[in-house]
Amino acid sequence: MKGYLVIEDGTIYKGNTFGAEGERYGELIFNTSMTGYQEIIYDPSYKGQIVVMTYPLIGNYGVNSQDIESYKIHLEGFVVKEKSKIYSNWRAEKSIDELFKENGIIGIEDVDTRKITEILRDKGAQKGGIFTGENDPREMLEKVKNSPSIVGRDIVKDVIKEKPYIWKNEGRYKVVVIDCGVKYNILRLLSKYDLKVIVYPATTPYEEIEKEKPDGILISNGPGDPEPLTYIIKNVSNIVEKYPIFGICLGHQILGQVFGGKTYKLKFGHHGANHPVKDLKTGKIYITVQNHGFCVDINTIKDPNIEITHINLNDNTLEGIEHKKLPVFSVQFHPENAPGPRDAEYLFEKFYKYIEKNAKKD
């Protein structure tokens, strides 16, 4: 079906839509990954956003039920240069078109994704809309301009499950995952260790989490602006001195605020599987998976016990912190990969060792 991609700056592209029909709105961002489109589609951190893939051909290996990263798809729309007309992989179960139809997601192809990426690079992330069928250009643009901004909104509540659940029911130590929009591969990697893994929604009061008597706490990734999440910041502030804690992406931004830092919106965010990050302790360079539109201001963390551990080599933004006295650390990137690379998986072992060491003290 014919359709349109409309950008807030007034740019309008006519293309062919696939998946569901209707209209969808969100912040338009680009992802530079060359593979792993299914994991990107299922990443809860894309709630409120329309994803533009810079790699030109998407859908060639289909989708399957093993590589999902959440219980449902949360992104608002999907933009590609070309959707593969066929898919071929021994694990494939359906096409991306079928997946989108089943889940009410609209995609659009046959648009100039290189030019769209240039617009977002130069002007920053823009509001966008995908419309199926024929529509009046002025009306579409007006609707896009009037659509809600991602800034200042709490959209974590839109992606989390309402009740706690057990991911792994046995292990020497117990980890509580504070779910802000957790990717399943975080839970899969925790399960490789001798850990019982319980997932609690981010809205859970800290008193309920403490009743579990956890040996460690992981604060997960999630979508949107971290500043409005005062209830999560308050909860973490009450437990940060009691347990080993590992924060990932939004979890890192929460810990940054707990320790006095401020967050700000990046011009077009970091989205892709090829971002170089330097570990300041070892000097090693890791190629990382990233998906965030906000960042902790490196100059606002005044706590003398906070050590900067990782820096983004593209723009020198903050990518990791660690407390000098407490077993607490966090990273802005995604060490759980999914899609790869897997360079930073070592951080899960570090977290486990912190749990083990802290338990021996008790």
Catalytic sites, residue numbers: 249, 334, 336
The upper half-sphere exposure of residue 253, i.e. CA atoms within 13 Å in the direction of its Cβ, equals: 28
Q: Which residue has the tokens 């030109």?
A: 56
Sheet with 216-219: strands ordered across: 165-168, 195-201, 173-179, 216-219, 245-248, 328-331, 318-323, 306-312, 263-279, 285-296
Q: Which helix (H) or strand (E) holds 22?
A: none
Closest-CA residue to 26 (of 79, 80, 98): 79
Whether the CB-CB separation of 113 and 56 falls below 8 Å is answered with yes
User: Whole-angstrom Cα distance, residue 250 to residue 294?
Assistant: 9
User: Whole-angstrom Cα distance, residue 242 to residue 166?
Assistant: 22
Nearest-Å Rg of the Cα atoms of the chain is: 20
| SS3 state at 32 | coil
CA 4 to the chain's CA centroid: 26
User: Whole-angstrom Cα distance, residue 181 to residue 69?
Assistant: 10
CA separation, residue 271 to residues 32, 46, 290, 293, 332 (Å):
7, 10, 5, 8, 12
Please state whether beta strands 82-83 and 263-279 pair in parallel, antiparallel, or not at all (unpaired). unpaired
Whether the CB-CB separation of 59 and 94 falls below 8 Å is answered with no
CB atoms within 10 A of CB 346: 13
In the structure encoding, which two tokens stand for residue 314, read together?
């593209």
